[in-house]
Amino acid sequence: MKRHETLPLVPIQRGEGVWLYDFDDRRYLDTVSSWWVNLFGHSNPRINAAITDQLGKLEHVMLAGFTHEPVVQLSERLRELAPAGLGHCFYGSDGASATEIALKMSAHYWRNSGRPQKTQFISLQNSYHGETLGALSVTDVALFKEAYGALIFQNATVVSPDSRDAAEGEDARVFALRCAAQLEVHLQQHHASIAAFIIEPLVQGAAGMAMYHHAYLRRARELCDQYQVHLIADEIAVGMGRTGTLFACEQAAITPDFLLLSKGITGGYLPLSVVMTTDAIYQAFYADEVARGFLHSHSYTGNPLACRAALATLDIFAADDVLNSNRAKAAYLNRVAAPLRVHPKVKNFRNTGMIWAFEVDTPHADFAQRCFSLALEHELLLRPMGNTVYFMPPYVISEREIDFLIGQTLKILDRLGC
């Protein structure tokens, strides 16, 4: 709060498409999709209409002992679209609650299966899976954890296949497999106590958009099968088309035991999360004794308004052939960004689907803040992580808006003396 004395909050009055407008009618291009949630722009007429229609019918009903049309439809649609075998949906209200649900369900599965000693989890170095206590326990960001060390449970991390760490000239795939070999060693030694391996497929967002080769995921799936450890794919940020396919796991042609979705699932409108899982997991809870069941609830689980926003979002994917049109947009952005790629102060320019990132060689320790403030003056909402600048724009961004984004970013780098 003290920082805001010199860096005031930006009050936003309205949004339209990729633009946010403040009360003086200054505009900002939302290059981070309001923290990675927005897909089809602010105030999207089709999502607005779906929510408004639902509002006239049913705003909410509890999802215990009751059900409703939007949640049934959404579950069926997701089952059809997700990697084969993920036929069961459990709803939560945000990303962190999806992580909690998956961790609990995994450990409870092993307990129900006569292996109660499997209670540990592993994650990648620099992983991010949310900030409630359980999720924080599998998150590897020191700044977020430090103050709560005594409250969270300890879990091991394994080396991240982040391509930036590859040896000079080493192929990303070769490097990914080299990292997977370390996962293998860890599983070999500890599998008897490990319930699950949780991972952000293809891109580790909070690690600074660390991107890696899908060969790692394929190998991780094999190893998890071999050592009887669940694979939890946290697609909260990378699902819903972000990496170029509807789900990132598709690129490795794998089915995880748990698939977590949130953020973009409602197009960035309302909080909702879903944990998709397999029949094998479902069956372990299918019993007469109540204690074998998965007893976990959130008041707003499967909220009908949020489900309708999600259904409208899926409708847009189908009607507008979004994945193909994103491929064309990504190619266009990569062409326009050529001067950025070769900029003397820019390193590791990289792209996966509709995510771009690069590091800036800067003398300023407070680069992120300076860049954020200067970007606002240049009509961009840019939110660097350390010296990593990234673009994760809403999919409705036009070619003209892409030109603007790249042109302004180059000006900002010049002004910062980078």
Residues that bind ligand PLP (CB under 6 A): 94-96, 99, 128-130, 200, 205, 234, 236-237, 262-263
Cα atoms found within 13 Å of the Cα of residue 263, Cβ hemisphere only: 26
In whole angstroms, the minimum distance from the beta carbon of 275 to ligand PLP comes to 12
The answer to whether residues 371 and 416 touch, using CB atoms and an 8 Å cutoff, is yes
Nearer to ligand PLP by Cβ, of 234 and 257: the residue is 234
Q: Specify the DSSP element, H or E, that contains 203.
A: strand 203-204
For tokens 């809870």, what's the residue?
285
Question: Rounded CA gap, 366 and 242, in Å?
Answer: 29
In whole angstroms, the minimum distance from the beta carbon of 362 to ligand PLP comes to 25
Question: Rounded CA gap, 67 and 75, in Å?
Answer: 12
- For the chain, the 3-state helix, strand and coil shares in percent, each to the nearest 5, are 45, 15, 40
Question: Rounded CA gap, 80 and 83, in Å?
Answer: 8
Nearer to ligand PLP by Cβ, of 191 and 214: the residue is 214
In whole angstroms, the minimum distance from the beta carbon of 363 to ligand PLP comes to 30
- Find the residue with minimal CB distance to ligand PLP: 95
In whole angstroms, the minimum distance from the beta carbon of 269 to ligand PLP comes to 13
Nearer to ligand PLP by Cβ, of 129 and 308: the residue is 129
The answer to whether residues 251 and 66 touch, using CB atoms and an 8 Å cutoff, is no
Nearer to ligand PLP by Cβ, of 112 and 244: the residue is 244
Nearer to ligand PLP by Cβ, of 272 and 346: the residue is 272
In whole angstroms, the minimum distance from the beta carbon of 392 to ligand PLP comes to 11
Question: Rounded CA gap, 13 and 386, in Å?
Answer: 29
Nearer to ligand PLP by Cβ, of 32 and 405: the residue is 32
| Among 382, 362, 369, 374, residue whose Cα is nearest residue 415 | 374
In whole angstroms, the minimum distance from the beta carbon of 265 to ligand PLP comes to 10
Report in angstroms the alpha-carbon separations of 302 from 124, 189, 270.
30, 39, 11
Nearer to ligand PLP by Cβ, of 203 and 333: the residue is 203
| Among 157, 121, 164, residue whose Cα is nearest residue 142 | 157
In whole angstroms, the minimum distance from the beta carbon of 108 to ligand PLP comes to 20
